[in-house]
Amino acid sequence: MDFILQPLNLVTFFPLLGVLALLFLKERKDLARWVALGASLITFGISLWVLSLFDSNNAELQLVVNRDWIQVAGWNIKYALGIDGLSVLLVLLTTFLAPVSILSTWNAVEDRVRDFMLFFLLLEVGMIGVFLAQDLFLFYIFWEFTLVPMYFLIGIWGGSQRMYAAIKFFLYTMAGSILMLLAILWLGINQGTFYVPDLVALGGIPGDVQYWLFLAFAAAFAIKVPMWPLHSWLPDAHVQAPTAGSVILAGVLLKMGTYGFLRFNLPMFPQAAVQLAPAMATLAVIGIIYGAIVSFSQKDVKKLVAYSSISHLGFVMLGLFALNAQGIEGAILQMVNHGISTGALFLIVGFIYERRHTRDLEEFGGLWQVMPVYAAITLIVSLSSMGLPGLNGFVGEFTILLGAWGAGQAGGSLGSIWYTVIAAFGVILAAVYILYMFQAMFLGPVTKKANEKLKDLSWRELAIIIPLLVLIFWIGLYPKPFFDLIHPTVEQFLTIFQNSTAALP
Amino acid sequence: MVPVSYYFALSAILFTLGALGVLIRRNAIIIFMSVELMLNAANLLFVAFARSYEALNGQIYVFFVIAVAAAEVAVGLALIVAIFRSKQSIDIDEISSLKG
Amino acid sequence: MFNLVPWIVFLPVIGLLLNAAIGRRVGERGAALIAIAASTGAFVVSVLQFLALNAHPEGEVVSLGDWINIGVLQVPWAFRVDTLSVTMMLVVSSVGTLIHIYAAGYMHYDVRYKEDTASYARFFVYLNLFIAAMMILVSGDSYLMLFVGWEGVGLCSFLLIGFWYSRNPDGKFGTLNAQAAKKAFIANRVGDFGFLLAMMMIFWAFGSLNFDAVLPQAESVAPWIILFITLAMLLGVTGKSAQLPLYVWLPDAMAGPTPVSALIHAATMVTAGVYLVARSAPLFVAVPAAQTTVAVVGGLTALFAATIAVGQSDIKKVLAYSTVSQLGFMVAAVGMGAFVAGMFHLVTHAFFKALLFLGSGSVILALERAHHPIDGNGAHHAKPEAHAAHFDPQDMRGMGGLRQQIPLTFWVYLVGALALAGLPPLAGFFSKDEILTDALLANPFVYVLLTAAAFLTAFYMGRQVLLVFFGEARSNPAKKAVESPRVVTLPLVALAVLSIFGGLINLPGLHWFTDWLEHTLGHDLAHVTEFSLIVALLSTLLALGAIYLAWTLYGRQPLKADQTDPLKARLGALFVGMENKWWVDELYAWLIIQPYQRLAAFLANVVDWKFWHDWVHDSLIVNSFQWLARFLANPVDLGVIDGIANGLAATTTGLARGLSFFQTGFVRNYALVTFLGVVLMLGYLVFSS
């Protein structure tokens, strides 16, 4: 019982209780919704409890659960969970977005509600597990596990080409994971442990092997992020997924990729990370510009937002490979920011889709007149997405750019400030596509008859979006509490990182 | 004092009746009753021997058997009802889904 | 006293929140009162800062709390009170409050002409938001906080230019206003890009973004770094202060309601760039090359925009280009190191340009109300056919003779125009003269540019006043124009008074303003410019000459209705160029916008979708996989593996078919077999022993 009541075990597996309850329900839609909402809210509560137990001055892993699990044939596999400054915000983001997404399906999902909620809660278990697992084997299980519910969420409740999108999503991510699995097995066998802190402390992997291991891990993570040019699954998955699926996909699943780089690639293969930083930063910068340009030419709002994700996550990757405090802390915060802002954008697209059953920009225009509250909220979220100072996006973007600039100077990991200059140029392009979208949807006269009588947001929809707005302003105006959570771990992380790169020739 | 062999014969007759009933009848409920008959034939024998050896073990077994039989009837009848729902019949010749 | 300074931001924020929450319920009067009270409160706080600063001229930094702290990056929310920032606070809050009052009357009519009375409160929400953002800009203690205000005012500008988002500037339904708003935001973003780069360079060179840590260290950093910083900053300035080559958004920004043009696009926001350069004075002074660049950009803009202003027929467009031109004066001044002169001109320009814009608003309102009158409750008196006949109340060709109908507006407008033309003893004379004097000493080339621009300025203002107020009325509404209500004219009078006496703050010989700014800029940067009689005489004569020239063209024989501009006959092709703004918009469309659209469409549709998504993934990968699968399935699998497997399978099926005979599916049969088996076994057991 003690074992089950470990805070991290609770927060990871609590949604399973909801799944269990749902299994006993027949097709009673409302009950299923309430049960799922309740389970996810309690999970959120538990995660807040975890936060209260979390000591933000401590840079080490905390609340660790560590048991021997599979110990056969010399394999040393553990069941190990732990939380530190790198993951605490992402766990909170996950548990926060889950009830928000569930609430957003209230009217949108009408058939097989129970199954939907079931998959959704399973997905939540997987996601939290990914952020908490400290054993590579366990991590891999959670990592793969998230695929299955997402596959069904897209494949059953998606749009007209849902099967195509679901299969593509599944195969694409699988392909990368296989390489990662090989690397994990190599590590487990050669280093004698799968426990990540041990692996980091052990080090001693020869340079050329590091190089290949880094690439194998990167294959899985880069696809998930997605980094240019491995992004081709993203527009399909986003466009076809139901709103809640898109929110979680953009809000959390993509972060699993960037988190993976941070948690595994950088500390375990420091030498390769330094070696490959310029290459990764190049891809990141291309992604920033490419995503922004391609977004501008989209006719489908959801697709536009999907491509903008590529651009935003390019910033995160750039920050990570700046390999300094500003870059990494900015990147972690930007992961959260992107989860909030892009999640909110997908919700916003969902709201209008429920009313008009189209996402074609040309079908809108002049909505401000009809739905002023909706317009005002969209404006705030869009501005956050394009990085207006005072809102959350700016804090992340600016610190990332600052870090990358520092890394571009002599002695930094990137070696050229051009990365930053070009990335900063993406800020202009972001304004271009965001304003293009905003104008097409909200400004100008009302041209389509179907838009004249649209209802403004309901109380339920406001209840979904307002918590996100609060966070947008909070992080924008006073991000200190968030940085305080991240800072000690990143500091220690960088010290270890520098030692390990300095030790190797 | 009636000798044990009388009980034995009665039990054998009852058991044979039961076995024949199971094999011959097509009505599931009758089959069930026949199964009960066989169980009770065994019970009879248990009791008879317990008496003759003056040991209580046999009687205790009987209680077990009665309890299990009751449970079996509950499950069995539920199955029959379920079969009747889906097939509109309890004729066991109609139930041949096991045929390969 | 200094501790009150955050309230210059809080008060407008409270005002905007109040109006956003209850603005529609308290009615027009309530909404306007809330907004005006908030703005007045900010003004009062600014005055208090001013008084406190007189006692302690060294000022103070008031910190409110942490903002971004990562390692060495420490940026607090901190307000800086010194003579420079308080100057800006006073300008913003005083002009801002006057414009709030004006807008209370002006928007009453505007929302009725646009048939959207619900937007009244919305307007004041934006206006207060602007005051808040502008105050952050001028009072921030670090470049990053300045940037918050910098982008914040850009947002307000976007919102207010696109205030009538469903219409065109002429009042019909369309998307032109929205496009103008977007254009402004994007042009500003290009500038912000420069600002961002400058900030990053500053941080890594100085280790901080706070003014106190950066500015005194300017000498200790390599010159090329400072050059990079200042040039990147210049890009920011060209965006925000509408200089070449990014000035194109400002004329389009006239799509916003007139009070907005006055407040944001003339008096305050666009001067932010000038403020930025003045604030960063030590950096600019450290590299002469940057100074020269800034000065030349300012001078060229001043002349270039002035030529365009000559050719415009829209009353607000003339003023817009005039603003670009005057901003060029200021930028040139601060670029040459004449920081005091630049700031001085910023202040006086705020007064008289706000006056001119508000005056033009009053003219427009007078014509609009004559065109189709409405009573106080918003009901139209006009007959439908009056509606149908379209009339552009901003076209000067449709005005004329208005001095009789709207005398008050005429007089204050005249004051503003003369101040802008730079005639003594009005405010514009002193400030412009100081710039010209400094220019003559610092950079003769820029002096020539600026003098030419000053000549054109006097000419186009003369042309405008003559076209609008003199001669015969050239349209029906112009004949029946009615003077604006008092709430509109009172701020005009106040601004007129400021435009007349504003020059006194830095009267030659007294140079009170120079001493005031010296507390912040230091003695070296805030030098006193000696009054030069030659420069003053020359510029006054030029201005008078330009006005006389305008009179010979437009005053002696007033323009008739439908007559082409007499200047066109004299200048020919040159005038066509001025009229069409030298086709710069078209050039940008051809050079940047269209290629970008084509690039985006190409990348999105062809590269990303047709090639990468459809061909590589859906065709190449999928097809080769299918080919592989077919190859493995047919020759390999069927031929070899199936051969073995089929043999096994055939055996198994045969066996199964035989065995399935016993598989009747009847439980009874199975039971019988079991029974017989038991009997057999029992029999064996019984009989074998």
- Furthest C-alpha separation in chain A: 72
The mean pLDDT of chain A is 90
pLDDT at B4: 86
Contact C537, C525 (CB under 8 A): no
CB contact (8 A) between residue A294 and residue C603: yes
CB contact (8 A) between residue C665 and residue B19: no
Distance from CA of B100 to the nearest CA of C (A): 6
Chain A residue with minimum CA distance to C158: A435
Element (H, E) at A62: strand A62-70
* Contacts (Cβ under 8 Å, ≥6 apart) of C511: C528
Do A and C touch (≥3 CB pairs < 8 Å)? Answer: yes
The dihedral through the CA atoms of C37, C38, C39, C45 has a sign that is positive
Q: Is C21 on the interface with A (CB under 8 A)?
A: no
Q: What is the spatial distance between Cα A437 and Cα A371, in angstroms, rounded to a whole number?
A: 16
CB contact (8 A) between residue C155 and residue A405: no
CB contact (8 A) between residue B93 and residue C656: no
> Mean pLDDT across the stretch A365-384?
91
Amino acid symbol at A100: V
Residues of A in contact with C185 (CB under 8 A): 431, 435
Q: Is C664 on the interface with B (CB under 8 A)?
A: yes
CB contact (8 A) between residue B99 and residue C672: no
pLDDT at C103: 92
CB contact (8 A) between residue A425 and residue C193: yes
Q: What is the spatial distance between Cα A18 and Cα A35, in angstroms, rounded to a whole number?
A: 7
The position carrying tokens 């097995």 is A185
CB contact (8 A) between residue B23 and residue C671: yes
pLDDT at C384: 43
- Nearest CB among C656, C660, C665 relative to B97 is that of C665
Distance from CA of C549 to the nearest CA of A (A): 43
Q: Compute how many other C-beta atoms are within 10 angstroms of the C-beta atom of residue C460.
A: 27
Contact C580, C488 (CB under 8 A): no
Q: What is the spatial distance between Cα C670 and Cα C659, in angstroms, rounded to a whole number?
A: 14
Residues of B in contact with C672 (CB under 8 A): 23
pLDDT band at A27 (very low <50, low <70, confident <90, very high): low
Whether residue A452 has pLDDT greater than 90: no
Mutating which of A238, A293, A315, A493 best tests the C interface, going by the most C Cβ atoms within 10 A?
Answer: A293
CB contact (8 A) between residue B19 and residue C672: no
CB contact (8 A) between residue A296 and residue C600: yes
Q: Is C667 on the interface with B (CB under 8 A)?
A: yes
The position carrying tokens 């202009």 is A428
pLDDT in tens, A357-371: 888 888 888 899 889
Q: Is the peptide bond before A226 cis (omega within 30 degrees of 0)?
A: yes
Mutating which of C593, C608, C614, C617 best tests the A interface, going by the most A Cβ atoms within 10 A?
Answer: C608
* Contacts (Cβ under 8 Å, ≥6 apart) of C326: C302, C345, C349, C353, C420, C457
Distance from CA of A6 to the nearest CA of C (A): 32
Chain C residue with minimum CA distance to A330: C70
Amino acid symbol at C632: L
Distance from CA of C596 to the nearest CA of A (A): 8
Residue C498: closest CA among C633, C630, C358, C635:
C358
DSSP state of C531: P
The position carrying tokens 């621009």 is C453
List chain C residues with pLDDT less than 70: 375-389, 665
pLDDT at C393: 82
What six digits make up the tokens of C307? 């030529």
Q: Is C240 on the interface with A (CB under 8 A)?
A: no
CB contact (8 A) between residue B92 and residue C667: yes
Residues of C in contact with B98 (CB under 8 A): 663, 665, 667
Chain C residue with minimum CA distance to B19: C675
Query: Which of the other chains make 3 or more beta carbon contacts under 8 angstroms with chain A?
Result: C
- Nearest CB among C67, C186, C203 relative to A431 is that of C186
Angle of the A113-132 helix axis to the A29-53 helix axis, nearest 10: 10
Q: What is the spatial distance between Cα C241 and Cα C578, in angstroms, rounded to a whole number?
A: 21
Q: What is the spatial distance between Cα A204 and Cα A207, in angstroms, rounded to a whole number?
A: 9
Q: What is the spatial distance between Cα C188 and Cα C236, in angstroms, rounded to a whole number?
A: 8
* Contacts (Cβ under 8 Å, ≥6 apart) of A160: A240
CB contact (8 A) between residue A401 and residue C196: yes
Q: Is C686 on the interface with B (CB under 8 A)?
A: no
- Nearest CB among C656, C665, C675 relative to B96 is that of C665
Q: What is the spatial distance between Cα C282 and Cα A248, in angstroms, rounded to a whole number?
A: 50
- Nearest CB among A232, A409, A477 relative to C613 is that of A232
Listed by number, the residues of chain C in 53-92 with a beta carbon closer than 8 Å to a beta carbon of chain A are 65-71, 73
CB contact (8 A) between residue A390 and residue C148: yes
Chain B residue with minimum CA distance to C672: B23
Q: Is residue C348 classed exposed, middle or buried when 0-12, 13-18 and 19+ CB atoms within 10 A define those classes?
A: buried
Residue C107: closest CA among C93, C92, C131, C125:
C125
pLDDT in tens, B12-64: 999 999 988 888 888 888 888 999 999 999 999 999 999 888 888 889 999 99
Residue C93: closest CA among C137, C60, C57, C61:
C137
The two beta strands, C73-81 and A62-70, are unpaired
pLDDT at C422: 87
CB contact (8 A) between residue A389 and residue C152: yes
pLDDT at B97: 66
Do A and B touch (≥3 CB pairs < 8 Å)? Answer: no
Give φ, ψ of C510 to 5 degrees.
-90, -40
Q: Is C622 on the interface with A (CB under 8 A)?
A: no
Distance from CA of B2 to the nearest CA of C (A): 26
Residues of B in contact with C665 (CB under 8 A): 95-100
pLDDT in tens, A279-293: 999 999 999 999 999
Q: Exposed e or buried b for every residue in C665-688, given b needs 16+ CB within 10 A?
A: ebbbeeeeeeeeeeeeeeeeeeee
Q: What is the spatial distance between Cα C659 and Cα C673, in angstroms, rounded to a whole number?
A: 15
Residues of C in contact with A297 (CB under 8 A): 597, 600-601, 603-605
CB contact (8 A) between residue C663 and residue B98: yes
Q: Which whole-number Å values give the CA distances from C28 to C31, C33, C75, C121, in the listed order?
A: 5, 8, 40, 7
Q: What is the spatial distance between Cα C483 and Cα C405, in angstroms, rounded to a whole number?
A: 7
Q: What is the spatial distance between Cα A294 and Cα A426, in angstroms, rounded to a whole number?
A: 12
Mutating which of C64, C68, C221, C235 best tests the A interface, going by the most A Cβ atoms within 10 A?
Answer: C68
Query: Which of the other chains make 3 or more beta carbon contacts under 8 angstroms with chain C?
Result: A, B
pLDDT at A504: 53
pLDDT at C159: 93
Q: Is C174 on the interface with A (CB under 8 A)?
A: yes
